[in-house]
Structure 1
Amino acid sequence: MSDLHIRCAGLDDIDGVLQFWPEAAEGTSISDDRDGVSRLVVRDPEALLLAERDGRLVGTVIAGFDGWRCHVYRLAVHPAFRRQGIATALLEAADARFTALGGRRADAMVLEANERAQHAWAAAGYHREDHWRRWVKPL
């Protein structure tokens, strides 16, 4: 995996990330647009991590820390590059970021219908907490 490079995204990466997610990620988010991703990169320049191989984007993860909790979003690996340790490397980079910031526990949002993702998260050491339910309100 020595040819895998993980780095923080910059504003110049946004269009590529937005093209990548429909190919590699399940589901969509209200923030999956240039404005949403730009706000993330400007507010927290180290949150959006990119995995590249030979200059090609092959994976992403958002490792967000609000000072209270560590949140993982948009873990995505291009289908042609799955099962090569890329998701593991991205989550290790997220864990390192959280640890450096003083984080104590990470949580991830995982689609109920995405069984493949549920298995991957379990393999990464995450477990489901059925006593919590996400509540949302569009703004």
Structure 2
Amino acid sequence: MVVPQIRAAVPADADDVLAFWKESAEGTSISDDVSGVTRLVERDPEALILAVADGRIVGSVIAGWDGWRASLYRLAVLPSHRRQGISMALLRAAEERFAAHGGRRADAMVLEANETGRLLWTAAGYEREERWRRWVKPLEG
């Protein structure tokens, strides 16, 4: 097993990130395009954290910090690299980022139907919060 490097994404990673998410992530986002990934990385260069092994992305998490909330999205690991501690290494990096900025609590967006994901988040010490629901509105633009 090759121990992956944990690093922040750069704009040049956008195509590889999208290909990785297509293979490894559950669901899609309205921002799943090169401009969306590039905009994220240019706006907050530490937000998209990657695990890279042998020059290939094998894991990702978006650790969004807006000064108020510490939000986690797109925690994904390449299927062939699962159960090797990569998710936990990515979460550790994200939580360290939040703590360094004064974050007090991290929350994660997890698809209801993603049973594997829900098990992972539970194993990482996260608890489901029943009293909240997500409300969304696509912005025209």
Q: Does 1:108 align with 2:101?
A: no
Superposition map of 1:24-103 within 5 A: 24-103=24-103
CA contact (8 A) 2:2 2:53 kept: no
CA RMSD of aligned residues (A): 1.0
Write out the 4+ residue segments of structure 1 that deviate beyond 6 Å after TM superposition.
Answer: none
How far is the alpha carbon of 1:2 from its aligned partner? 7.2
5+ residue gaps in structure 2? none
State the distance in 2 between where 1:2 and 1:121 align: 24
How many residues align structurally? 139
Q: Deviations over 1:20-41 (max 9, x none)?
A: 1010000000011111111100
Q: Does residue 5 in structure 1 map to residue 5 in structure 2?
A: yes
**Secondary structure of the equivalent of 2:60?**
strand
User: How far apart are the structure 2 equivalents of 1:66 and 1:85?
Assistant: 27
Unaligned runs of 5+ in 1: none
2:118 counterpart residue number = 118
Cα distance in 1 for partners of 2:31, 2:105 equals 24
Identity of aligned residues (%): 68
Listed one character per residue, the Cα deviations across residues 43-65 of structure 1 (whole Å, up to 9, x for unaligned) are: 00000001011222100000000
